[in-house]
Amino acid sequence: MNPLLSIFPLLSLVLGLLLGSFYNVCVHRYLTGQSVILPASHCPKCGHGLSWWENIPLFSFLVLRGRCRSCGEGISWRYPLVEAVSGLWALLLALQFGFGWAWFLYMAAGGLLIIMSFIDFQEYILPDIFTFPGALLAFGGSFLLADMSWQDSLLGALFGAGAFWLLQKGYYLLRGVEGLGTGDIKLMLMLGALVGWQGLPMMIFLAAFTALAASLGYMAKNAHQGMQTRIPFGPFLSLGAMLQILYGQQLMALWMPLG
């Protein structure tokens, strides 16, 4: 075996952590309207330019004890969390698929999903600048995958987005308010293309299950709002798609005996 292939999971983990640092830049600067390129990495509170050792994923947060070295202000937990999620995603992809086109496609798609999810968590939006390129990436990637045809990918995108569009319109007709954001419909173009039409039912089930569990925490935090508490669904759709990509076949194998 090629020695590089044997340590590919470890290399993927390191790369995922480094990319997670970049994803943090994308999230923060989209929210603040800044360029992703300039200025260089700095403390958003005092403007202190970060040294190289203050930019090491996870390690720097621990060494700095979660505070800026210059002003002492707390560093958001979003930073190590994004880095950890990105690193874990890269590692699990490497273990599941090894080195190949699938790894490259799902790494790129996962990066977009991580960025969009943390924007959605904070601002309840899924920007078109990420959803539409993500849909094109997912559909184009189907031509490189051995276990998914472009027809399955296209049907997944159409069925996924179409079902959520109908759900949005139906809810509005019944309740007179928007119960599902248009950004979620656009996101489903990407996710449906990623998992194919066959993977949509399990993906949506996983998204709904995890969102339901998280909603209990949201409602406890905002007890005065009760059932009117806003919950971003995009991150849970993304999580459902990621779980489907990694373990869809195993989950279906467990599901079938129950049926």
pLDDT bucket at 79, cuts 50 / 70 / 90 = very high
The token duo for 68 is 């800026």
Q: Is the pTM of this model over 0.85?
A: yes
State pLDDT tens for residues 92-127. Answer: 999 999 999 999 999 999 999 999 999 999 999 999
If you average pLDDT over every residue of the chain, what do you get?
89
CA–CA distance, 62 with 86 (Å, rounded to integer): 17
CA angle 170, 123, 231 (to 5 degrees): 45
CA–CA distance, 124 with 95 (Å, rounded to integer): 33
Burial of 209 (0-12, 13-18, 19+ CB in 10 A): middle
Domain ranges of the chain: 1-99, 100-259
pLDDT bucket at 223, cuts 50 / 70 / 90 = low
Average pLDDT score over residue span 6-23: 95
